[in-house]
């Protein structure tokens, strides 16, 4: 990736349907077995009134999107504000838009967000990536 080719305001998106199987695999991989994600009886007693998806699944979809658009870039930071719960079978769309780029550090600052199938924003934040010219 060549830093000079990156354009301010460039944007992209990636979609993923979050299935029960995906959540189970994510829980196995990470060890996050919080009953809010796996136990419907427990989850019904919460403010969410049912199971919700790990927030980091949506966050990881942003990482997937960035890696596809900026191969070889280094993820420097990511802020995350979880705004709405994601439920099993929701279709999540991760989006980014380039806000700034710093010529000296070769860092790019991006607005990042995820939306559900109703176009409700479920997550929003800011990412910084470092571009390695090759």
> What would the DSSP string read from start to end of 53-116?
--HHHHHHHHHHHHHHHSTT-EEEEE--EE-S---TT-EEEEEEEEEEEETTTTEEEEEEEEE-
pLDDT tens track for 82-107: 999 999 999 999 999 999 999 999 99
Q: What pLDDT, on the 0 to 100 scale, is given for residue 134?
A: 67
Q: What is the domain-level CATH number for residue 121?
A: 3.10.129.10
Segment among 6-10, 82-86, 109-113 with least mean pLDDT: 6-10
* Closest to 80 (Cα-Cα) out of 60, 99, 103: 60
Q: What pLDDT, on the 0 to 100 scale, is given for residue 4?
A: 85
Domain housing 107: 3-130
Indicate the number of domains in the chain: 1
Task: Output the pTM of the full model.
Answer: 0.92
- In terms of Cβ atoms closer than 10 Å to its own Cβ (0-12, 13-18, 19+), residue 110 is buried
Q: What pLDDT, on the 0 to 100 scale, is given for residue 5?
A: 87
Mean per-residue pLDDT for 106-122?
98
Asked if 107 and 128 touch (Cβ cutoff 8 Å), the reply is yes
């Amino acid at each position: 990736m060549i830093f000079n080719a990156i354009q301010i305001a460039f944007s992209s998106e990636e979609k993923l349907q979050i299935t029960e199987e995906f959540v189970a695999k994510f829980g196995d991989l990470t060890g996050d077995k919080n009953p809010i994600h796996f136990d419907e009886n427990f989850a019904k007693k919460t403010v969410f009134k049912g199971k919700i998806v790990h927030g980091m699944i949506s966050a990881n979809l942003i990482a997937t999107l960035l890696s596809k658009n900026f191969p070889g870039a280094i993820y420097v930071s990511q802020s995350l504000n979880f705004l709405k719960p994601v439920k099993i079978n929701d279709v999540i769309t991760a989006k980014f838009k380039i806000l700034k780029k710093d010529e000296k550090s070769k860092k790019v600052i991006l607005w990042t967000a995820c939306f559900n199938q109703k176009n409700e924003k479920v997550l929003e934040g800011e990412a910084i990536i470092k571009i390695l010219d090759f």
